Amino acid sequence: RRRQAEGLVEILPRVGDIRRMGGAALDLAYVACGRVDAFFEHGLATWDVAAGRVLVAEAGGTVVNLSLPRPHHEDDRLVRPLEALHELNDDAVVVAAGPGLIRQLTELLVQAGAHEGP
């Protein structure tokens, strides 16, 4: 939690607001319907993400796991969709947003060190 708080200190001045309203499934549904712009959280289980990932994708958004190893090109990791739930682990940092925001948000999280997990 300390690392998450340190990341938030870096992020807060650069975003409008950060809210925590409930479970990850609800937060992902809110991203899908446009009620909130984006979502990120550390250490989710597969059941926290399974349904919400589908909702976000069907709405045109993207769900990524920032803790995955970097693929061939460094920037590809920032927008690589979470394709399989087995990719989640205790270090997973799940990020969801619409297509116009996902790259900006993931870059911000990486700059703030929030992608490194708790």
Q: Where are the alpha helices (DSSP H) in 17-96?
A: 24-33, 46-58
Specify the pLDDT at position 74. Answer: 53
What pLDDT sits at residue 1?
64
Chunked in runs of 10, what are the mean pLDDT values of the chain (118 residues)? 72 76 90 92 87 94 77 52 71 85 86 68
Query: What integer pLDDT is reported at residue 72 of this predicted model?
Result: 45
pLDDT at 17: 74
Domain count, the chain: 1
Show the beta-strand stretches assigned E in the chain: 38-42, 62-65, 93-97
Place of tokens 């607001």: 17
Range of the domain at 83: 2-116
Contact, 52 vs 27, CB < 8 A? yes
Q: Which amino acid is at 51?
A: A
Q: Which residues neighbour 55 within 8 Å (Cβ) at sequence distance 6 or greater?
A: 28, 29, 31, 32, 33
CATH of the domain at 56: 3.40.190.80
